[in-house]
């Protein structure tokens, strides 16, 4: 079997593979340490039981889903109160609940989002309490 | 939910009393229901929320002083409505408009000058049969059980079909980022982002906390009355029973819920 | 077959590069629009749709080009169109892609466009328009491509194409009807609130689509070594003549209702178009130009000696295209907002950025069309001169 333009095709495949795998070998050997998230805020310091709405593992994995559900339920169904698994109730509010404790958005939310290059658009509308009061 | 209704009927009863006794003109619930908002989530407890089967508003335009913008200022400050300073980008939830433009079907040259010179406020009519809800391709605009026509700013794709569908010009598009044009951001209410349509929401976020609409509370003349149209004993129903009133472009069948006392 | 688009004359490549440059300029302005918002356009609170949606509306009409060839050929066995049905289908493909792009660039939140599918709303005409447009696009890509491949191999098209082609006929009617319903079902926009809107869309579509197709056939005859045949072009020109007559008639019918009834709500929009309102006259010159071109084209198309002359026919078809572009692409959409529901007269003028983006989308459409037609011509050449 004869391949027409074999040289060009092989060169093309090689360039393609190099480009596609570039991020892998470029970052090889340079582990990027996960960010240290700060829980050092006055509101959290005052809490006796240092527990978020749900437990840490759940929040870490599912906070975006939880917020999505909160968003739809409070805006579209008018259900503004969330009852956690342990029976405590919270207002479904990003600025009014989450950021009340996590008032250090830059050291908490942003650090991890930046690390993962996640760009949630929440804060193009929702206020960051510390920022707007000035 | 039964407790809610009972709670509301109680309030309605009080406001009925206030109408019967001519000395107290002010809506009683508006006085009584102002509660501190700070202690979440108690302020949000369902028993404190104001509920209705169909929210509506009556506007007595004769009470509006010529240059008063109290309700507008209160609404726009509460809801972070930007002021772009030009007509092209303009965003507004509530504003004053010439009587002939509000009621083109009623207007003619020999109406009393005083009536024609009036500039009542206009806002979203919270139609019972809203064309904007019908045309929205994503259900971003929807109607709640209590009649309030909402916009889910998370879902709006900015196609502006609702703006074409609204026969009242109640909707505004965010043609650009509104944040730099908000004089003072109210931290308790979100802003909008560029590319979504917005309008009056009948202060649904305040009703949930047991507070009346910002415009109603801001009006010193008590020209605005807010209440449940499905409750025959509500203040608004009793008021509309007594005073001749108009709807904007009622012939279109949209069933507006803003009643103008003329 | 796609590789055939990679071979062409110098003129072909200059044209492609020109279109690429126009597209690139449009894209740069689109990035600016993404960053700043739709405020870069001339649209306002009162006139909330402008050039983009108007182009969309006009191009839905151009997409009708296919059905006016498919219907006579497949339903009435009108053989003269056999050679060019694929040209009609490819024009429809390019037009529908432009339609979709124009709706997309008009969105305030384009990243959320999938919400239309995630939260389907059967009460929304825009939702149905998305369905009929994407369906029409698929039908025409499939039928056009399969038939061209079969022509190339000189085998009859597979059996399953026929039902698809028959389906494309009512489907073409549906894209105009549904697009007209976007406008015709809105309370309080009296300019659009007319049952004749869908028939008007169909009539103007069946004039503008085939007119553009005639122009392309004449260009291909002159520069592309492809002759659609005198009979096919003459038959098309008659279709344009009848459709244009119907289109003009429908507009006159609207004018009668508006002005004889003298209901201000109905008359004022037409008054704005043809006379201006309270000194606002931006569209008046355009609309009279459109009217003059329409009547001139009609005259030229119904006089046989003029129609049979390729040069005059081309002029008449350009007149039809320009006239209906003004009517749909400038007048129809914007005027629905003037005056506003609160009787404010806000005029609309597109901005430079808006025009650049619009031209960019047109350039993409023409590029798709050029490539598809290039393939068509190459397949044809191969058969004629093996």
In this structure, are residues C121 and B165 in contact, taking their beta carbons and an 8 Å threshold? Answer: no
Q: Is the pLDDT of residue B14 over 90?
A: no
Contacts of B205 (CB under 8 A, 6+ apart): B189
Q: Name the CATH topology of B2-261.
A: Alpha-Beta Plaits (3.30.70)
Pairing of strands B94-96, B121-123: antiparallel
Tens digit of each residue's pLDDT (9 = 90 or more) over B74-119:
999 999 999 999 999 999 999 999 999 999 989 999 999 988 999 9
Look up tokens 């209901």; give the residue. C263
What is the 3-state secondary structure of chain A?
Answer: CCCCCHHHHHHHHHHHHHHHHHHHHHCCCCCCCCCCCCCCCHHHHHCCCCCCCCCHHHHHHHHHHHHHHHHHHHHHCCCCEEECCCCCEEECCHHHHHHHHCCCCHHHHHHHHHHCCCCCCHHHCCCCHHHHHC
Tokens, residue C204: 């103007």
Q: Which of residues 31-50 of A touch B (CB under 8 A)?
A: none
User: Which residues of B fall within a CB distance of 8 Å from A76?
Assistant: 142, 150, 152
Answer whether B193 sits within 8 Å of A121, measured CB to CB: yes
Query: What whole-number distance in Å separates Cα of residue B188 and Cα of residue B205?
Result: 10
| pLDDT at residue C38 is higher than 80 | yes
Binning pLDDT at 50, 70 and 90, where does residue A37 land?
A: confident
Distance, in Å, from the CA atom of C258 to the CA atom of C165, rounded to the nearest integer, reads 40
Q: Is residue C234 part of a domain?
A: no
Q: Is the pLDDT assigned to residue B20 strictly greater than 60?
A: no
Q: What is the dihedral of CA C333, C335, C341, C343, to 10 degrees?
A: 160
Q: What is the pTM of this model?
A: 0.89
pLDDT over threshold 50, residue A12 = yes
Per-residue pLDDT at C238? 93
* pLDDT value of position B4: 53
pLDDT of residue C336: 94
| DSSP category for residue C237 | H
Output C298 or B40, whichever has higher pLDDT.
C298
pLDDT in tens, C229-287: 889 999 999 999 999 999 999 999 999 999 999 999 999 999 999 999 999 999 999 99
User: Which residue does chain B place closest to A90, by CA atoms?
Assistant: B41
Q: Which of A80, A97, A129 sits opposite B208 (nearest CB)?
A: A80
State the Rg of chain C over Cα.
Answer: 21
Using alpha carbons, list the distances in angstroms from residue B2 to B7, B9, B47, C70.
8, 11, 10, 63
Q: What's the pLDDT tens digit per position in B190-238?
A: 999 999 999 999 999 999 999 999 999 999 999 999 999 999 999 999 9
Give the domain CATH number at C191: 1.20.1630.10
- Neighbouring residues of B216: CB distance < 8 A, sequence distance ≥ 6: B27, B30, B57, B71, B224, B225, B226
Please give the share of chain C, as a percent, with pLDDT higher than 70: 99
- Quote the pLDDT of residue B167: 96
**Mean pLDDT, residues C193-218 taken together:** 94
Q: How many domains does chain C have?
A: 1
Domain that holds residue C81: 2-226+239-384
Return d(Cα B224, Cα B34) in angstroms, integer. Answer: 17
CA C234 – CA C310 distance, rounded (Å): 10
Q: Two tokens at C86? A: 């694929």
Give the pLDDT band of residue B37 (cuts 50, 70, 90).
very low
User: What number of helices (H) and strands (E) belong to chain C?
Assistant: 15, 0
C43: chain B residues, CB-CB within 8 Å = 173, 175
Strands (E), chain B: 55-60, 94-96, 121-123, 141-143, 149-151, 172-173, 197-198, 224-228, 245-246, 258-261
The CA distance from C131 to C137, in Å, is: 10
Interface with C, mutate which of B169, B196, B253 (most C CBs under 10 A): B169
How far is it, in rounded angstroms, from Cα C319 to Cα C131?
32
Asked if pLDDT for residue A121 goes beyond 60, the answer is: yes
- Please name the member of B44, B144, B179 whose beta carbon is closest to the beta carbon of A80: B44
Question: Is residue C170 exposed (0-12), middle (13-18) or buried (19+ Cβ within 10 Å)?
Answer: exposed
- B119 part of contact set with chain C, CB < 8 Å: no
The mean pLDDT value for B12-30 works out to: 42
For C324-382, the DSSP string reads HHHIIIIIIHHHTTSS-TT---------HHHHHHHHHHHHHHHHHHHHHHHHHHHHHHH
Confidence label for C31 from pLDDT (cuts 50, 70 and 90): very high
Across the B/C interface, how many CB contacts are shorter than 8 Å? Answer: 146
Task: Tell me the C-alpha distance between B146 and B137, whole Å.
Answer: 22
- pLDDT for position B192: 95
Within 8 A by CB and 6+ apart from C119, the residues are B138, B139, B140, B155
| Confidence tier at C77 by pLDDT (50, 70, 90) | confident
Q: Which two tokens stand for residue B23?
A: 């000395």
Structure-model confidence comparison of residues B29 and B153, the more confident one? B153
Q: Is B136 on the interface with C (CB under 8 A)?
A: yes
Q: Which of C33, C108, C123, C133 to mutate to test the interface with B (most CBs of B within 10 A)?
A: C108
258-277 in chain C: CB under 8 A from chain B: 265
Cα gap C93→C75, rounded to integer Å: 21
For residue B79, which of B202, B195, B189 has the smallest C-alpha distance? B189
Beta-carbon separation of B195 and C38 below 8 A: yes
């Amino acid at each position: 079997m004869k391949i027409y333009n074999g040289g060009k095709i092989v060169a093309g495949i090689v360039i393609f593979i190099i480009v596609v795998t570039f991020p892998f070998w470029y970052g090889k050997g340079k582990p990027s340490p996960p960010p240290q998230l700060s829980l050092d805020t006055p509101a959290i310091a005052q809490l006796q039981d240092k527990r978020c709405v749900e437990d840490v593992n759940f929040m870490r994995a599912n906070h975006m889903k939880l917020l999505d559900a909160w968003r739809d339920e409070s805006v579209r169904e008018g259900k503004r109160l969330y009852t956690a698994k342990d029976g405590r109730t919270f207002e479904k509010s990003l600025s009014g609940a989450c950021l009340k404790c996590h008032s250090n958005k830059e050291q908490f939310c942003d650090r991890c989002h930046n690390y993962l290059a996640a760009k949630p658009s929440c804060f193009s509308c929702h206020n960051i309490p510390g920022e707007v009061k000035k | 939910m039964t407790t809610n209704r009972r709670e509301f009927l109680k309030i309605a009863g009080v406001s009925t009393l206030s109408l019967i006794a001519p000395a107290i003109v002010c809506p009683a619930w508006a006085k009584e229901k102002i509660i501190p908002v700070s202690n979440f989530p108690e302020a949000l407890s369902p028993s404190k929320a104001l509920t209705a089967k169909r929210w509506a508003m009556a506007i007595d335009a004769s009470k509006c002083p010529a240059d008063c913008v109290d309700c507008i200022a209160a609404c726009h400050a509460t809801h972070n409505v930007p002021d772009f300073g030009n007509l092209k980008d303009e965003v507004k939830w509530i504003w004053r408009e010439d009587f002939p433009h509000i009621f083109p079907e009623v207007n003619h040259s020999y109406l009393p000058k005083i009536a024609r010179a009036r500039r009542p406020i206009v806002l979203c009519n919270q139609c019972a049969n809203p064309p904007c809800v019908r045309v929205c391709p994503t259900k971003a605009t929807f109607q709640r059980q209590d009649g309030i026509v909402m916009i889910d700013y998370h879902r709006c794709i900015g196609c502006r079909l609702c703006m074409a569908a609204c026969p009242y010009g109640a909707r505004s598009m965010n043609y650009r980022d509104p944040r730099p044009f908000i004089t003072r951001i109210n931290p308790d209410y979100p802003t909008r982002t560029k590319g979504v349509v917005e309008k009056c929401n009948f202060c649904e976020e305040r009703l949930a906390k047991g507070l009346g609409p910002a415009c109603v509370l801001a009006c010193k003349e008590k020209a605005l009355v807010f209440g449940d149209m499905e409750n025959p004993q509500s203040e608004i129903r009793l008021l509309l029973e007594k005073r001749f009133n108009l709807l904007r472009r009622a012939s279109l069948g949209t069933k507006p819920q803003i009643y103008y006392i003329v | 077959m796609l590789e055939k688009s990679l071979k062409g004359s110098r003129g072909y490549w200059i044209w492609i590069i020109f279109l690429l440059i126009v597209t690139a300029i449009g894209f740069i302005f689109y990035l600016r629009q993404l960053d700043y918002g739709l405020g870069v356009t001339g649209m306002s609170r009162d006139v909330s749709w402008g050039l983009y949606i108007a182009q969309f509306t006009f191009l839905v009409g151009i997409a009708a080009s296919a059905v006016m060839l498919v219907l006579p050929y497949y339903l009435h066995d009108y053989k003269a169109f056999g050679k060019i049905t694929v040209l009609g289908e490819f024009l429809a493909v390019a037009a529908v892609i432009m339609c979709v792009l124009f709706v997309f660039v008009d969105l305030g939140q384009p990243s959320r466009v999938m919400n239309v599918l995630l939260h389907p709303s059967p009460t929304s005409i825009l939702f149905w328009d998305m369905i009929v447009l994407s369906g029409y696009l698929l039908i025409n890509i499939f039928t056009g491509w399969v038939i061209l491949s079969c022509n190339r191999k000189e085998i009859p098209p597979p059996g399953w194409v026929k039902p698809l082609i028959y389906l494309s006929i009512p489907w073409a009617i549906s894209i105009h009807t549904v697009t007209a319903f976007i406008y015709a079902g809105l309370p309080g926009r009296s300019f659009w609130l007319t049952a004749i809107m869908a028939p008007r869309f169909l009539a103007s579509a069946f004039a503008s689509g085939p007119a553009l197709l005639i122009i392309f056939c004449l260009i291909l005859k002159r520069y592309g070594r492809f002759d659609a045949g005198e009979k096919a072009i003459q038959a098309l020109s008659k279709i344009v003549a009848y459709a244009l007559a119907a289109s003009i008639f429908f507009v006159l019918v609207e004018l009668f209702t508006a002005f004889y009834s003298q209901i201000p709500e109905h008359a004022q929009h037409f008054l704005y178009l043809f006379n201006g309102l309270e000194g606002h006259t931006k569209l008046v010159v355009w609309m009279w130009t459109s009217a003059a071109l329409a009547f001139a084209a009609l005259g030229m198309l119904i006089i046989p000696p003029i129609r049979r002359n390729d040069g005059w026919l081309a002029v008449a078809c350009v007149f039809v295209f320009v006239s209906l572009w003004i009517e749909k692409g400038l007048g129809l959409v914007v005027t629905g907002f003037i005056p506003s529901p609160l009787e404010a007269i806000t005029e609309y003028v597109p901005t430079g950025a808006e025009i650049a983006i619009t031209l960019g989308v047109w350039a993409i459409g023409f590029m798709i069309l050029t490539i598809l037609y290039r393939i068509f011509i190459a397949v044809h050449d191969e058969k004629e001169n093996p």
